[in-house]
Structure 1
Amino acid sequence: MTKKPLDRIAEAYKGDMGEDFGKKTRNRINWIVNHVEGNNVLDIGCSQGIVPIILGREGKNVDALDIAQESIEYAMDDLKNEHVTVQENVNFRVSNFMTEEQLEPTYETILLTEVLEHISDPLSFLKKIHDHLDKEGRAVVTVPFGINDYFDHKRTYYFLELYDHLSAFFTIEKIEYLGNWVGVICKKNMELTAQPQKAEFNRETIQTLENAFYILERELVTKIENFQTTIKQKNEYVKSLQTQHSQ
């Protein structure tokens, strides 16, 4: 049976996948929605639809696409629980963005959250986003930061490759590290060259990157230490049972 990529972000947002993961997910979702501008939004790879629903509650009109039938069905079931005005604001559909023809000419904000790492030809994908972005619009992009061995990920993003891909079509306004993810705010580059912008990165940029690496490494070291403590406790328990049995 072929494995299907299925993102459970709405379940995580609600806390159904553990409170710690739920808190991290809510922080990321809040960061995304807080950077949306305008009322006309396209969400590419909307997954289970939590972001479009939140935006719909705020009166924004959202076209929300995902290739996974199961994800859209979940999203539409959730949308049924919303007020009729929210339902009217959000349009969920199963669709491949690269072949979708029923799009608005332009959108004020285009969301590309946890999608780019799945794409084998990111430049073609970003070019189409550029074509559908309003001249004053913004793209909000998130990807996993560093190694995340999901079965259909095509690449691991740190900093430079992500910068190169996005800067070929957009002016990068902000890069923010969100734990195991990185978020980027982009504006449309009207002088399209399809080439990465040449840039010299300042000390602040490098310091922010190093801080992000430190947070991830500290989290990993803590997990290893906790795991070692658990193993030690279990070994001591087994030894105590063996001692009792031998007496």
Structure 2
Amino acid sequence: MDRHTQDAAAGPVYRRYVALGDSFTEGVGDDDAARPNGLRGWADRVAEQLAAHVVRAGGPVPGYANLAVRGRLLPQILDEQIEPALALQPDLVTVYAGGNDMMRPSLDLDALVARYEEALGRLAGSGARVLVFTAYDAGWAPVFRRLRGRTAIYNELLRPAAARAGADLVDYWNMRRFDDTRMWGTDRLHMSPLGHTLMAAEVLDVLGVPHAVERPQLPAAPALTRSEQRDVDREWLRTFLVPWVGRRLRGASSGDGITPKYPVLTPIADPVQNAG
């Protein structure tokens, strides 16, 4: 039986939310010096709205744990985060994994998704509602478009695997509003604060939870001159490609020495409501 409660009028209420994954869920790209690891991110924003929803219903601020660590491959996420998540007895779990695996020279997608399905089944079998993400379609983006075929196969394997495991899908692959460079940081890999805000709204809509997250409304992006595009490309080389290649050569990860933001269930309130 699901641990979360359901109010037909107000939507579901979640009191123990645990977020799993890599940099996407840790919140990289959405800097906030006042928060653990200096990051906010879409999962924090979702937790804040879940908390506001519970408080409006007359309950105490619920608990939120974020076990995600940047740079983690899918097998590492399963090995390091599933057991701690289950020990927290969540009523809601979100999992994003596989993005870093897609950038490796070779991988066995069938074996990868088979392991993923088993882990998702364990999470769903605990009574938690489980949300899992398809991988993003970066076919419009230079360099990353080369991974489009591999990503599409991964998603086609993941969709039925998630259904068999009892997990719900957040269909990142079909979110066309992310086909805008302003949704991404200068590394072109991690979402910007605008992107994290949009993702929080998408996740909350899948959950069916009323929320106050406003999707960014942007005017048409101005076209870059050749000089401006060169500057952007140089910044990308400096901030992403060179460090990424260096880590690969050293066998290092961006997550080395990083610990989870919220390793235990922690009350986290909506900062806008607190300010008001």
* Structure-2-length-normalised TM-score: 0.26
Higher relative strand content: 1
* Structure-1-length-normalised TM-score: 0.28
Whose relative contact order is higher, 1 or 2, with alpha carbons under 8 Å and at least 6 apart?
2
Find the structure with the greater CA-based Rg: 1
